[in-house]
Structures are given as C-alpha cells and as structure tokens.
Structure 1
C-alpha cells in the first residue's frame, strides 16, 4: 500500500511537471491511451450485378452525358412489379441516374438551365408516364427524393419495343441542333427530344477565332458558308465573304457568295458570281470536275428564276 501511494504521488508530480512544461507529453500520453480505430475492411474486386455505364453524345456543340447503372431483367416481371406503378423510379440501379448538360438545352420544348440533374421516371398503368429532372444528384436511387427539388416533369407515352435484357440508354434522330434520348428496358421505351442553341454557340466561337485570325481568307469563307448553309445572319455572312474575296479570290468563296445572293433572291448577281466560280475552278482546281455538274445545274435553276 505504501509503495502504491509513493508511485501514485510520483506519477502526479511528473504529470504536474510535464503540464508546466507545455503539456505536449501529457497530450501524447492521452493519445496513446486512446483505443485505435479498426482499419477499413478491404473489398474484393468483384463484378457488379448492375454495371456502371457512361454515355456521351455531342448534340450540336454540346456534350450530353448520361451516367447510370444497368440492371437486368433476370426473368422478373418489370413494369408494375419490380418497378411499381405510381412510384418514382431511379431510371437505373444503385445511385441516381445523372444527366449533365454543360449548356442550356430544351427537353421536349421546355427550357432547362445548364447543370447536372438526377433523372427519374414515374411509370403509370393507364396514363402517360412522366420523366423527371431533379436538382439533387447525391441520393441512393429514389431514397430521399423530394418533388420540391424537381426542375421539370415531362409527360411521355411509353412505346412497345424489342426485348432488352439490360437497361440501356441510347440516342437517335440526331440532327445538328437536336437528338432524342431513349431509355429501353424489357419491352418498353421512353424518350425525350433534346435540343440545343447550337448556332449561338457556333457564332461565339466563330467570332473568337476570326478575332485572332482576321486576315485568314479560308476561315472567313468557312464562317460565311456556315451561315449560308443554315440561312442565318445573312448580313454578317456577306461581310465575311466580301472580306474573304478581298484577301484572295478563288472559286470556293465566289460560289459561297453566289449561294448567299441566291438565298436573298438576287439571282442576277448570284449568276455573275456563279459563272466566275466556274471559270476559276476550271483554271485553278484539279479536282473541280466532280463539283462542276451540280454547280451548272444550280446555275440553270437560278437563270430560270432571274429571267
């Protein structure tokens, strides 16, 4: 007992001295006394039942991304059973299915700001289904889903489709400014039209490049050709093509100006530039012969409208 008291007293004195010295040793002693947490259990590298998939599709100048997991049918009844009617479904497996739009888009004609959205489907037994974009993307599937965070809901009619064992997202009906995103699983497909304001983004890029290369006649001609092909900003196209012609006159920029004038129904002047394009092409371009027949046909059409 005496020995124990002496040892205890000595320990207290040492502790007091350590505390007066700054407490660092006391802190180390306390840390050493705390129990060590167990290391995280390792995980085996096994395949997932619903593998992860990422689909990226460029629409115009916008890369649309679909990030999802792919469940399988496995002989189960899907619609109305595994995926109940009248309940919000995560449109995949595991975490949220996430759609990413780096630029503003429209979905079935409804405007959607740029951003990331979780994607849900609300299937129904006897009504149109609903496709849902929600602003919260960190849920596990539909757990924690709240309709107050919805960005929009789109009514859609599900279509019968060939059997798909694995859920799959895919794009169709691709055009310069739009395309259709489809979700197919079992014998059902739902889809929505995604459209982008591609011309606004293209024009911003054109102006940036031409500001850096203002005397490049080829870039000026390409910019004018894009505007002519899409029948937009005709006055800007005229400015670009006139500058291209001033810098260097070849058959290509003459033909672009001819087409531009024809689009403005100035067929008489279009014919003048068209004939000049034919003359320069025959003189300077060895590969011109393949283009010549279609150009002559177009000139004939303009002549019928001009006179």
Structure 2
C-alpha cells in the first residue's frame, strides 16, 4: 500500500509540474491562404485590437516603421514570381513592414522573414519592393487589425490592410497569362482532349484573346463531347459566337444550352440563356 501511495504521489507531482494555464492571446495569430490565378499566396500575421485606444498617430506613430500587426513580423509567401509596383519578386517568403502617414503608407517587402517584429539592424539591400499606397477612410471602425485579399482577378489581387478607420491596399500581380499560354501551347502540341479544347477556348474568351481561335477550339470541344455535351459548355459556345459576331450561331447554341439546362433543372443557366437570347435578338 505504501509503495502504491508513493507512485500516485509521484504521478501527481509530474502532472502538477507539466500543467500550464492556457489563456487567449491578446493578438491572435491568423493564417490566410489565397489562390490568385495559378499562384498560391499564404499570409501569416497577428491581429491586435483597438481596445479603446487611438491607433494611427498615437499607438502606431506616423512616420515610423511599424511591424504591421503584432508579435512576429507579418509574412507573405508566393509560390511563383510576382510583381509589386515596379518590382519583380522571386517565389518565396517576405516580411511586410509599413511606415504609416495620414494620407499614405509606405509599404515595404523585405526578403528576411524570420524576424520577431522589426529587424534589429535594418538592411536596405533586403528591401525588394517599396510601394506608396493611398489611405482610404472607412465609414465604420475596424476593431481588430485585418488583412484581406481583395479585387481578385486571374492575374492580380489587392492586399488590403484595415484597422481603426482606414483601408490601404497594395496590388500584387501574378504571371498567370504566361503560365496558361505556355501550358496551352504544350497541350495543343500533344494530344489534347475535349476538356483541353474547352478550357483553352473559355480562357481565350475571358481574357479577350484571339476569338477566332477560341471559336475553333470550342467547336472542337462540342464535337468531341457528342451527345454528352453539357449545358455549361453550350453556354460558353454561345458567348464565344456572340463575341465573334455570329449572332445567329450564338442564339442557336443558347437554345441548346437552355433546353439542356431546363432538363437538368438549373434555373441559373435557364435565366442566363433567356437573357442573352433577348439581348442578341435585339442587336
């Protein structure tokens, strides 16, 4: 019995030493993953709150470098090369720092991302991009520092920074078009499938490229699909024909898409096709 009590006491002592009180972090960590075109972007930062404090011009002084958040420096990682302002950044991770002012922020991308806050010794040679971004007043207060990816397109996104009553955005451009065109060229020089022809045609339509080539590819895709052609494929064919200037062909394709959409019970495509046919009939 005495031996058993000693063992229990030892276990209790070990547990007491290892036990720790866990409380919420005042500036919780956040990780945002965003696909921009074909580029993976990962943003990691900590989020302080106002807590009845005046932020810009007080807690965060104007004219002084700020870590952009709290705790470790804010880090952004790109899976491909990107362009920020007039600067090309290689794929990799970067710290972001800012110098805020009333009407604009100086936003800096720094190629050493392992600091805890600001670097102990600033090195201008590690600055890979510097952008002066306008400050936009917000109609509401933003209690917690927030970073966003806004205005997404296939080739760009705006990195948004919001706190207190201001919004600041920096445009990040990605090489989607170069990557897609290289991919299309490789596939078309091989043995493309119907899906390949369809994807290439839709990309050409969406990006305003050679519409005659897009028409050739979409026709090939529809032919290869045969009686399994989908209403969304026919919808894209109608849009390509309309862009090409073939109103009659666009309406004919839209009618086929409409019938297939009605059969599938897809109200969205039924409406889109009806709206388009009315528009094209009136042109």
Contact kept in structure 2, 1:104 and 1:196, CA below 8 Å: yes
Which has the higher mean CA deviation after the structures are superposed, 51-60 or 147-156? 51-60
In the alignment, what sits opposite 1:32?
Answer: none
Paired residue for 1:129? 105
Mapped contact 2:94–2:110 kept (Cα < 8 A): yes
1:92 paired with 2:69, answer yes
SS in 2 for 1:79: coil
1:106 maps onto 2:83 in alignment: yes
The answer as to 2:176 corresponding to 1:198 is: yes
1:81 is the counterpart of 2:58? yes
- Give 5+ residue unaligned stretches, structure 2: 1-16
1:263 and 2:239 matched: no
> 1:185 is matched with which residue: 138, 142, 163?
163
Q: Equivalent residue for 1:171? A: 149
Q: TM-score, structure 2 length as denominator?
A: 0.72
Gaps of 5+ in 1: 1-40
- Asked if the contact 1:251–1:280 (Cα under 8 Å) also holds between the matched residues in 2, the reply is no
Q: Which residue of 1 aligns with 2:48?
A: 71
- 8 Å Cα contact 1:251/1:276 also seen in 2: no
User: For the Cα contact (< 8 Å) 1:85–1:124, is it kept in 2?
Assistant: yes
Q: Distance in 2 between matches of 1:298 and 1:110?
A: 43
Q: CA RMSD in A?
A: 3.6
Aligned to 2:114: 138
Q: Equivalent residues in 2 for 1:291-302 (5 A)?
A: 293-300=274-281
Residue 130 of structure 1, CA deviation: 0.2
CA distances 1:109-146 after superposition (whole Å, capped 9, x unpaired): 65433221100001236x63200000001111113232
SS at 1:158 equivalent:
strand
Structure 1 residue 201, shift from structure 2 partner: 3.4
Q: Give the drift of 1:231.
A: 1.8
Going from structure 1 to structure 2, the CA distance change for 1:293 and 1:49 (only over 3 Å counts) comes to closer
| Paired residues for 1:1-307 under 5 Å | 44=20, 45-108=22-85, 110-124=87-101, 128-144=104-120, 145-161=122-138, 162-204=140-182, 214-215=192-193, 217-234=194-211, 236-248=213-225, 256=236, 259-260=239-240, 262-265=242-245, 267=246, 271=248, 273-274=249-250, 276-277=252-253, 286=263, 290=271, 293-300=274-281
Larger Rg: 1
Provide the C-alpha distance between the structure 1 equivalents of 2:58 and 2:260, rounded to a whole number of angstroms. 70
Q: 1:119 to 1:43 in 2, by over 3 A?
A: farther
When structure 1 is superposed on structure 2, of 64-73 and 185-194 the one drifting more is 185-194
